[in-house]
Amino acid sequence: MQNRLQKLETIWVSNCSSLEEIFEVRRLNVDEGDASTISQSKKIPSSISQPDQGMQINNIMDFKQSRPGFQNLTELWVIGCRSLRYLLSPSIARDLVRLEGLYIERCEKIEEIVAAAEGEEKEDESILPRLKNLSLQHLSNLGSFSQGKYTFDWPLEYIYITECDKMNNFCSGSLSIPRKVNIRVCDCGENLEQELNNCRKEI
């Protein structure tokens, strides 16, 4: 199945209240016919993103088991997944080399977007190198984008962070964003906006 998912450009996961992890293949009950349908699509079908239609999802896909992964993925939306604590491991995030848009909303338990993992920290390798648009909204437990010592060198055009009360710092690693990026920060930790402004650079 993993080879058939490489054409995906957009994944939308919405209102999956039991979702605890992203990207775990072994618990995704998709038969061969469904997999064939997915391979011809550029979007995850609504039957996968809507568990209230009779499908309970605890996990979606595990890149460690499904590599090669979603190298063509350009947009990832995760909305209303109340049990999710982190979104991506560093190794998964490094595979998303074409991701341009990342949108996370109303995931009350999420603590990190890219989880810190011992032994995976590489300062010289940028994670999500094509990211242009980042939106983090209503994430009351989010402490930072990542607590790992990773490099985030992004060609960002727009970053919007709102109602992330615990987010005082964006990351523990290295962040570099264009000077002309549009930054909007509302109802977050007092240091966050200043940190983002300090990371602007001329390109």
For residue 97, is it within any domain?
A: no
Residues 78 and 131 in one domain: no
Q: Does residue 81 carry a pLDDT above 70?
A: yes
Q: Does residue 136 carry a pLDDT above 50?
A: yes
Q: Does residue 122 carry a pLDDT above 80?
A: no
Residues 16 and 77 in one domain: yes
User: What's the pLDDT score for residue 113?
Assistant: 95
Q: Per mean pLDDT, which range of 23-32, 63-72, 126-135, 170-179 is the poorest?
A: 23-32
Instruction: Estimate to the nearest angstrom the gap between the alpha carbon of 87 and the chain centroid.
Output: 5
Residues 78 and 142 in one domain: no
Q: Give the residues across from 104 on adjacent strands.
A: 78, 136
pTM: 0.77
What is the 3-class SS of 43-61, one letter each residue? ECCHHHHCHHHCCCCCCCC
Residues 4 and 72 in one domain: yes
For residue 105, is it within any domain?
A: no
In contact, 64 and 90? CB cutoff 8 Å: no
For residue 92, is it within any domain?
A: no
Q: Which domain holds residue 129?
A: 120-203
Cα separation, 17 vs 149, in Å, equals: 30
Q: Quick: pLDDT tens for 87-120.
A: 988 888 888 999 999 999 999 999 999 988 766 5
Q: Which is more confident, 119 or 189?
A: 189
Token pair 């939306």 in the structure block, residue: 77
Q: How far apart are the first and last CA of the chain?
A: 40
Residues 73 and 135 in one domain: no
CA distances from 135 to 123, 164, 167 (A): 24, 11, 14
Residues 78 and 127 in one domain: no
For residue 106, is it within any domain?
A: no
